[in-house]
Amino acid sequence: MFSKAAEHGIKAIIYIATQSMEGKRVKIGEVSEHTATPEAFTAKVLGTLTKHDILQSIKGPYGGFEMTAKQIEHVKVADIVKSLDGDNIFTGCALGLTACNHKNPCPMHERFVSIRRELKSMMESTTIQDLATGLIAGDSVLIRA
């Protein structure tokens, strides 16, 4: 459903948020290890998210990635996806057609409209804090055991 960039970005942000909630900064290698994502690709994704003010990158020997309490509380899943992929997941055609709309619908258009609306609502109402809290509580995992 999500692009690889969005998948990696969401997992990385959740992990960084859990560590930030404990007052820790994390290096790229640690993020990669705890999310089972390639280090170089994770670095690229986190660079983009840093440019969109979703997290902070601190340089130097004591540097790393972190999120402020305000970021953890206010950043939504939709913010991450939009930063990495744009809004195509909310507006694009289910079959990838460029001219699909209500006047010129693809075969799946009408069925996909409600799914896309629900997906957008869920992503715009789910904060990183919601997801990080679930991970900390043991209600969810980021990698397969």
CATH number of the domain residue 111 falls in: 1.10.10.10
Tell me the C-alpha distance between 105 and 66, whole Å. Answer: 43
Taking the CA atoms of 86, 89, 92 and 97 in sequence, report the sign of the dihedral they define: positive
Q: What is the pLDDT of residues 83-98, one digit of tens each?
A: 999 988 888 888 989 8
What's the rounded mean pLDDT across residues 58-81?
Answer: 96
Residue 74 sits in which domain range? 4-136
Q: Is 55 in contact with 67 (CB distance < 8 Å)?
A: yes
| 3-class SS of residue 130 | helix
In a domain, 49, yes or no: yes
In a domain, 145, yes or no: no
In a domain, 121, yes or no: yes
Total of domains in the chain: 1
Q: What is the pLDDT of residues 98-144, one digit of tens each?
A: 888 889 999 999 988 889 899 999 999 999 999 999 999 999 998 87
pTM (2 d.p.): 0.91
In a domain, 114, yes or no: yes
